[in-house]
């Protein structure tokens, strides 16, 4: 399979699609593909859910880590950050 877009271009396009920033022509062309490609529809649903979850986490950025997060994981993150 040959790719004609970079990862950055791919992500930018999907972000523009989800935010409604694409031109009418681009959106119509992409919607046309989604109308006939169930695997791309499934990917887009997963991608959109991931974006929504990421935004939900970022809105709580000043809250402490939830209790269910293992203490070892928190320590590992803190240790890794000290090495940077």
Vertex 51: Cα angle to 70 and 31 (nearest 5):
150
Residue 84: predicted pLDDT: 65
Cα 77 to Cα 71: distance, rounded to the nearest angstrom: 10
CATH code of domain 7-82: 1.10.10
Residue 31: predicted pLDDT: 96
Kindly list the domain boundaries of the chain, sorted by start residue.
Answer: 7-82
In whole angstroms, how far apart are CA 7 and each of 3, 4, 21, 65? 9, 10, 18, 31
Q: How would you write the pLDDT of the chain (84 residues) with one tens digit per residue?
A: 557 888 889 999 999 999 999 999 999 999 999 999 999 999 999 999 999 988 887 776 777 887 888 899 988 988 898 876
Residue 2: predicted pLDDT: 59
């Amino acid at each position: 399979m040959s790719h004609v877009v970079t990862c950055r271009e791919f992500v930018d396009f999907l972000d523009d699609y989800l935010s409604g920033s694409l031109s009418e022509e681009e959106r119509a062309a992409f919607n046309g593909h989604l109308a006939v490609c169930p695997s791309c529809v499934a990917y887009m649903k997963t991608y959109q859910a991931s974006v929504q979850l990421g935004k939900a986490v970022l809105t709580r950025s000043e809250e402490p880590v939830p209790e269910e997060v293992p203490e070892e994981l928190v320590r590992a993150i803190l240790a890794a950050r000290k090495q940077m």
